[in-house]
Amino acid sequence: MSFDLPAILNYVRYGVALLGAFIAALWLSLVIWTFRDMRSRSRDIFAQFLAALVVAVLNIPGFIVYLILRPPETLSQAYARSLEEEALLQEIEERPTCPGCSRATKPDWKICPHCQTILKKVCSNCGKLLDLNWNVCVSCGTPAPGREAKVSLEEEETEKV
């Protein structure tokens, strides 16, 4: 059996060409992927190009360096996290509590069932519940209970002067 050296060299050339094309495609895809990944993680255009340049120059070791140094979360993940934190803070702030015992209350409770602290007052005109610090009813505009006496005293004092 004889070996055809020129044919074997031809196959080796094709194999090396295919391997070179694969390595070039892998290198280019790593550079593109790095740029796109960094673009989703940072708004700084200099950082985006620098990350792609490191991978373009150093190839696989540069890609490993990029994976070690890249920001841990994408911009969309950071935005979603901040929205979630804000929603949790609003939920905590909006939860009414009793000023006497600090237990959770409901907006339609007039008195705390645990410590009997008065939570709301009732409008004398329409019967809706009012916060204790409100001066007028938000529904009908009637002065809150106890407010009429203050208003009338102020009017009497101004009339005397």
Q: What is the pLDDT along the chain (161 residues), one digit of tens a residue?
A: 678 899 999 999 999 999 999 999 999 999 999 999 999 999 999 999 999 999 999 999 999 999 999 999 999 999 999 999 998 888 777 778 888 898 888 888 889 999 989 888 888 888 888 888 888 888 888 887 665 545 444 555 666 55
The domain in which residue 9 lies consists of: 5-76
Listed residue (77, 87, 26) closest to 55, CA to CA: 26
Residue 63 placed within a domain: yes
Residue 132 placed within a domain: no
* Angstrom distance (rounded) from CA 150 to CA 158: 12
* Angstrom distance (rounded) from CA 97 to CA 117: 11
Per-residue confidence (pLDDT) for residue 149, from 0 to 100: 44
Residue 85 placed within a domain: no
- Phi, psi at 39, each rounded to 5°: -65, -35
* Angstrom distance (rounded) from CA 140 to CA 77: 46
pLDDT per residue over 17-37, tens digit each? 999 999 999 999 999 999 999
Residue 95 placed within a domain: no
Residue 112 placed within a domain: no
Residue 62 placed within a domain: yes
Global pTM reads 0.55
Listed residue (124, 119, 120, 117) closest to 149, CA to CA: 124
- Phi, psi at 119, each rounded to 5°: -100, -35
Residue 154 placed within a domain: no
Q: Report the number of distinct structural domains present in the chain.
A: 1
Per-residue confidence (pLDDT) for residue 125, from 0 to 100: 85
